[in-house]
A and B are shown apart, each in its own frame.
Chain A
Amino acid sequence: MSNVPADLHYTKDHEWIKVAADGTAVIGITDHAQAALGDVTFVDLPKAGKAFGTGEVFGAVESVKAASDLYSPVACEVLEANGALNDTPDLVNREPYGGAWMIKVKVKNPGELAGLLDAAGYAAIL
């Protein structure tokens, strides 16, 4: 069974988003997603300052098997991309909810978060 932490919001495309008190958020992919991809070899991430609409492709994850697009769970602006993934893309396999966060963003409309899946809702589609 894959790990689905209770304190995150999820998309049906297997991204998670964690919102901080200051209104910023970090986005990554779930344990289920990393397991399905297998050995991750590269994470293609956007530069700071780029803006994405809800459901828009913000990057891609490459594994030995396949490339998979990353979809923005909400409309947001990128504050920072996780540079650690450049040198150690396999962090995605080891720490999908921790060290392998992908982008830190400013959420455009915090009200959008309510439309995402909660942990129970996400676990139900796995």
Chain B
Amino acid sequence: MSEPLARTPLHALHVELGARIVPFAGWEMPVQFAGIIEEHQAVRKTAGLFDVSHMGEARVRGRDAAAFLDRIMTNDMASIRPGMARYTVMCQPDGGCVDDLIVYRFSETEFLICLNASNAAKDIAWMRSLIGPFKVEVLDECAAWAQLAIQGPLAERILGLATALPLGTIKRFGFAVGEVAGASGCVVSRTGYTGSAGFELYLPAASAEKVARALLELGKPHGLVPAGLGARDSLRLEANYPLYGHEISERISPIQAGLGWTVKFAKGEFVGREALRRQAEGGPAASVVLFSLDDRRIARQGAQVYAGETPVGEVLSGTHSPTLNKPIGTALVAAGYIGSAELTVDIRGNRIPLRIAVEPFVK
């Protein structure tokens, strides 16, 4: 029996704005409002407002909070300064990914962690199972927070109309806590998942609708539009940001995913270290590549990749890039076939050459 779908605090607003609602990771989420391409272009040229309240949150606090996080995360946690955030992966002992997360440090002993919606319950159980002797507690705050992302070149100007927080002083991956559109206790961070400038807002759930309505109204003259998960996916793929369940998963490690920069072997023991070290030293059996196609057909998740007639991998994500006006995607390709042989992807019986990208399509 399947669980009923959860609704974010902005569900009524989505319906009012004419969203097409789809089930996603156990939630009813807006996939699009005016249209995916139009929303995508707005984020690249003006700004878009996303409801990402399906994302989960956990608070980790206690005397050993930093040491605990360093034991369970791949990236260096102890060196995060209060008021800053860091992207990291949390791994299994075999190097597979439990999740990828952003860790916000509030003080020496207090952190807030952003979890993927589909993994939130699993992550919290996983973290609690590893507490052992550490003096730390892991609090489930998924229901307490709503999240909005305001993204695009005009995001800062628009958000500045709704808050007195000194946005200009917030560095990339920095954050401040204060009032937005009259709602107090909001966490405003210069982070995002689009490849465009912007902020992510953690809001007390009861304030979310008020803040979203205020931002949409203040931003409308500047071209701010409500944007859905469809545009969020094409934006993140142009920027080559991984999505859990696609580029990283329990079977695809951060080393394979090209996220080796998040794995800090020098910091000491952490879960997955030995397996990841073996992959890093010996080279992983397969790696994730970003590609575009000189074609109009989109290579979707699961499409087979070939070197000549040999199957050497599969597509992990695929979409249409509005910026390039052609299909883009990612694929997991066996070691030895990347950069050497001519790779093709099978789309409905057509073999289309993969053009491997060495850099993201937007920076």
Taking Cβ atoms with an 8 Å cutoff, the residues of A that contact B are: 38-39, 41-42, 44, 60, 62, 64-67, 89
Contacts and interface: CB of A to CB of B under 8 A. Distances in A.
Given A38-B36, A44-B348, A62 B234 contact: no
Main secondary structure of the interface of B (DSSP, over half): mixed
B298 A39 contact: no
A65 B22 CA distance: 12
Interface of B: 20, 31-32, 35-38, 230, 234, 296-298, 300, 319-320, 327, 348
6 contacts: A62-B297, A62-B320, A64-B37, A64-B319, A65-B31, A66-B300
Contact of A64 (B234, B297, B348): B234
Contacts of A66: 300
Nearest to A66: B300
A96 B308 CA distance: 39
Contacts of B319: 64
Contact of A67 (B32, B234, B298): B298
B162 to A, nearest CB: 30
A4 to B, nearest CB: 20
Contacts of B300: 66-67
B348 A41 contact: no
A64 B36 contact: yes
A66 B20 CA distance: 15
Contacts of B20: 38
Contacts of A38: 20, 31-32, 35-36, 230
Contacts of A39: 35-38, 320
Contacts of B234: 64
Contacts of A65: 31, 36, 230
Nearest to A60: B348
A67 B300 CA distance: 8
A65 B318 CA distance: 9
Nearest to A59: B348
Of B234, B296, B319, most buried by chain A (CB within 10 Å of CB) is: B296
A100 B327 CA distance: 22
Contacts of A64: 36-37, 230, 234, 319-320
A29 to B, nearest CB: 17
Contacts of A62: 296-298, 320
A42 B298 CA distance: 9
A59 to B, nearest CB: 10
B284 to A, nearest CB: 30
Contacts of B297: 42, 44, 62, 67
A39 B32 CA distance: 10
B317 to A, nearest CB: 12
A26 B184 CA distance: 60
